[in-house]
Amino acid sequence: MARKAAIIGGGVIGGGWTARFLLNGWDVGVFDPDPQAERKIAAVMHNARLALPALSDVPMPIEGTLTFHGTIGEAVEGAEYVQESVSERIDLKHKVYAQLQQANPGVLIGSSTSGFKASDLQQGSPAPENIIVAHPFNPVYLLPLSEISGSEKNSEATVEKTVQIMKDIGMFPLVIRKEIDAFIGNRFLEAVWREALWMLKDGIATTSEIDDAIRMGFGLRWGQMGLFETYRVAGGEAGMRHFMAQFGPALKWPWTKLMDVPEFNDALVDLVANQSDAQSGAYSIRELERIRDQNLVGFLRALKERNWGAGKVLRAHDEARAAVFHEQTDKGPKGEPLVMAHMQVLPGWIDYNGHMTESRYYFANSETIDAFLRLIGAGMDYVAAGHSYYSAETHIRHLGEAKLGDRLTGTLQILSADEKRFRSFVRIMKGDSCVATIEQLCLHVKMDEGKSAPAAPQVWANLKAIADAHSGLPLPEGAGRAVGQKK
């Protein structure tokens, strides 16, 4: 049975939370009195379905069920977690919490607030320990950070439960050590925002030029190293102490206007809005969101390949989900083809026709064969010891089409085997339909010599047991078929 989250408030942030939970397999109940809420969340979901799966290298969970409700009580029924994303009005939030806790006593409530402390949110609540801050960054379905901030009334168990839920949906929960208005991220952004407004007001730079300074320079560094690690590198071989000695005195120079706020008036609003229109008005908001998402996917995937920064969160989330799929494969010999891999056609797998690209059929075979090698004891530890199975010959038949989002299963039948080789027949199944078969001959090799050699006794015993179990199976249709041979 799917887990359920309730989302109260379906704006930009609430819609992002909805997508994050749904695409990670949770059911979601939404309450928002806005008559346009369903349309707006549908638009967010469209973009999220294009973006979030592109960060994954394992099948996505089965998408949860989305429901919209006319009352808070209906939305929260059966939910184990609530994400409140209503307007930044403390009186409104208190009213929402009262209704939530009356309808579902004991439910954990996380707030998307950008600035209110947990102790502010908890005032007047009969169960303040169940209200906590879980502050995300937009787009919630792609950016992993969730700032978790509690008060003295939140138990350690409540904090840990919130942290685990964030991890379960692929986020990076950062627990704030002490209560502070606006937490860490927004305090930092507020300082940068004030400086930007001063430079704009004083005619030093336009909105476009300020954004260029960020995205062409230090923004790229911050995205993968943050502030302190970036400055440590700037100190050279002497490190952070040298950097502090070199640039520390600048803290006394009158560079910033951090404590001085420009007057917020119509003239300032017009200045910012008019320049922003000139800078970005050629694109709709949805177009800008898709451009942003595509750029973030590319950046995050680069970090994921290097297991660095936010990429570590993505890789860990993939590994946790991959472990679930590994548990659903066969663990030993049986008298029928072995189920060895569960896969999904992800955005990076498709070509210009919207179909699974040719190279990914070979990849699907590799996923199936690799799982089989792990099963017989010839996994990465075996390779590290200097032995491996090498592909010697491969024949792929394309029998059907696989499209974006399709779920595939890789099954394997051993056609023949001895101490030095095995011949496998893999079927890539989409439900009951076979979309491809891959026949392959693999040779066992002693890697330091680059020559074929007998497999280790236990590996051969495991392989032989499966080969014996498959020896009574009929030869698959298409096995041994030459390229272009008539049926």
Give the tens place of pLDDT for each residue, 109-134. 999 999 999 999 999 999 999 999 99
pLDDT higher than threshold 80 for residue 259: no
Average confidence (pLDDT) over 361-377: 97
Q: Look at residue 258 in the predicted model and tell me its pLDDT.
A: 67
Measured over the CA atoms of residue 169, residue 12, residue 87 and residue 31, the dihedral's sign is: negative
Q: Give me the numbers of helices (H) and strands (E) for the chain, helices first please.
A: 17, 14
Residues 86 and 227 in one domain: no
Alpha-carbon gap, residue 487 to 479, rounded angstroms? 11
301, 319, 320, 298: which is closest to 311 by C-alpha? 301
pLDDT of residue 241: 82
Q: Both tokens of residue 426?
A: 């893999």
Domain enclosing residue 232, as ranges: 186-282
Q: What are phi and psi of 146, to 5 degrees?
A: -135, 115
177: which 2 tokens? 């050590």
pLDDT value of position 257: 66
The answer on 191 and 57 residing in a single domain is: no
Yes or no: say if 369 and 424 are a contact pair by the CB < 8 Å rule.
yes
The answer to whether the CB of 280 falls within 8 A of the CB of 272 is no
3-state secondary structure of 295: helix
Q: Provide the domain count of the chain.
A: 3
Q: What is the mean pLDDT of residues 406-434?
A: 97
What single-letter DSSP state applies at residue 454?
P
Domain CATH number, residue 56:
3.40.50.720
Whether 247 and 158 share a structural domain: no
Distances in whole angstroms, Cα of residue 331 to Cα of each of 59, 352, 371, 372, 409: 20, 38, 10, 9, 15
Q: Is the pLDDT of residue 444 over 90?
A: yes
**CA atoms of 377 and 15, how far apart (whole Å):** 46
Least confident range of 91-95, 288-292, 315-319: 288-292
Give the pairing type, strands 108-111 and 131-136: parallel
Tokens of 113: 């607030």
Confidence of residue 140 (pLDDT cuts 50, 70, 90): very high
CA distance 412 to 397: 15
Q: At what angle do helices 37-51 and 285-305 cross, to 10 degrees?
A: 30
In terms of Cα–Cα distance, which of 356, 341, 350 is closest to 399? 356
Residues of the chain with pLDDT > 70: what percent? 98
* Sheet of strand 145-149: strand arrangement: 66-69, 27-31, 4-8, 81-84, 108-111, 131-136, 145-149, 172-175
309 within a domain of the structure (yes/no): no
Please state the φ and ψ torsions of residue 393, each to the nearest 5 degrees. Answer: -155, 140
pLDDT of residue 404: 93
CA distance 340 to 332: 10
Over residues 416-426, mean pLDDT: 98
Rounded CA separation 8/336 (Å): 50
**Residues 22 and 146 placed together within one structural domain of the fold:** yes
Residues 179 and 198 in one domain: no
Would the pLDDT of 256 be above 90? no
- Band (146; pLDDT cuts 50, 70, 90): very high
- Indicate if the pLDDT at residue 255 is higher than 70: no
CATH number at residue 263: 1.10.1040.10
Higher pLDDT, 388 or 263: 388
pLDDT of residue 460: 98
State which of 134, 164, 183 marks the end of a domain: 183
Q: Check whether residue 73 and residue 175 sit in a common domain.
A: yes
Place of tokens 């640039």: 247
pLDDT mean over 270-274: 86
What average pLDDT does range 350-360 have in this prediction?
91
Between CA 15 and CA 34 the distance in angstroms is 13
Is a pLDDT exceeding 70 seen at residue 251?
no
The angle, 0 to 180 degrees and rounded to 10, between the axes of the packed helices 12-23 and 37-51 is 50
Q: How confident is the model at residue 58 (pLDDT cuts 50, 70, 90)?
A: very high
In a domain, 475, yes or no: no
Check whether residue 464 and residue 336 sit in a common domain: yes
Average pLDDT, the chain: 93
Q: Which of 88, 83, 67, 56 is nearest to 2 (CA)?
A: 67
pLDDT score recorded for residue 104: 96
Query: Of 426, 430, 371, which is closest to residue 404 (Cα–Cα)?
Result: 430
